[in-house]
Amino acid sequence: MSPLVFVGIDVSQARLDIAVRPGASSSHPHNESAIAAVVEQLCALSPTLIVLEATGGMEIPLTSALATAGLPVVVVNPRQVRDFAKASGHLAKTDALDAQVLAQFAEVMRPQPRPLPDAETRALAAVLMRRRQLVEMLTAEKNRLLSAAAPIRKRVRVHIAWLERELDQTNTDLAEAIRHSPVWREKEDLLQSVPGVGPVLTSTRLASLPELGTLTNKQIAALVGVAPLNRDSGTLRGRRTVWGGRAQVRAVLYMGAIVAARFNPVIRT
């Protein structure tokens, strides 16, 4: 019986550091030809599991290539890996060491692979991220205008007007992307039939929570970070709190719940 093989890959802008358990480590430049070589190398190993950290999107090309090749790959939350590293005594941090920790994390924790978002969903998520950036910049500029010196107020107002136009165009792009997809259009109509659910919540759910409908109620609540977590010890019964999960989804769900508490009769009563 061949040994189980676990792989950790640390992705940076310039390098791909790979650790194999059991096996040797390697490092490659981060480019298309190297990604193809890494996929070929790992296919030959028939790994049980490959684990990468989410790195702001830099991991997507490699992850997509691995998944397309039929390899079991999981992208995990960096906080989970860092907590695991501290618990296992790995206090130093380099790219090569991070790859080793990821391989060990794969071997010990065995996170379950989930289907990766398709290209259409990733494109929607990118537009949605841009919308969040525009909203943050618009809020910052409006706050800045309150205390801006007279000579720069005009330029700040010009920038605010430009940001508002960009936000309007981005909202239009989101709506068109959803309406042009029969599957998304059906889901949008279903979601927005619920009082309190608007276009922002709908697009966020489609792009950032594709697992909805494939997991149980408890699993999806834990994934988002709205499942109350116990803090009990002995006879002490601590407060139940929610934390972790997908912050961007949780934020829009909160705003939707605020509106629903006023207008949705099921929640209001």
pLDDT in tens, 86-138: 999 988 889 999 999 999 999 999 998 887 888 888 889 899 999 999 999 99
In the chain, domain spans: 6-109, 118-180, 192-269
Quickly tell me which residue has 């206090």 as its tokens. Answer: 91
- Say how many residues make up the chain: 269
* Whole-number Å distance between alpha carbons of 107 and 113: 13
Contact call for residues 34 and 77 (beta carbons, < 8 A): no
Tell me the fold of 6-109: Nucleotidyltransferase; domain 5 (3.30.420)
Per-residue pLDDT tens digits of the chain, which is 269 residues long? 678 999 999 999 999 999 999 988 999 999 999 999 999 999 999 999 999 999 988 998 999 999 999 999 999 999 999 999 999 998 888 999 999 999 999 999 999 888 788 888 888 989 999 999 999 999 999 999 999 999 899 999 999 999 999 999 999 999 999 998 888 899 899 999 988 888 999 999 888 888 888 888 988 998 898 888 888 888 888 888 887 888 889 989 888 888 888 888 888 77
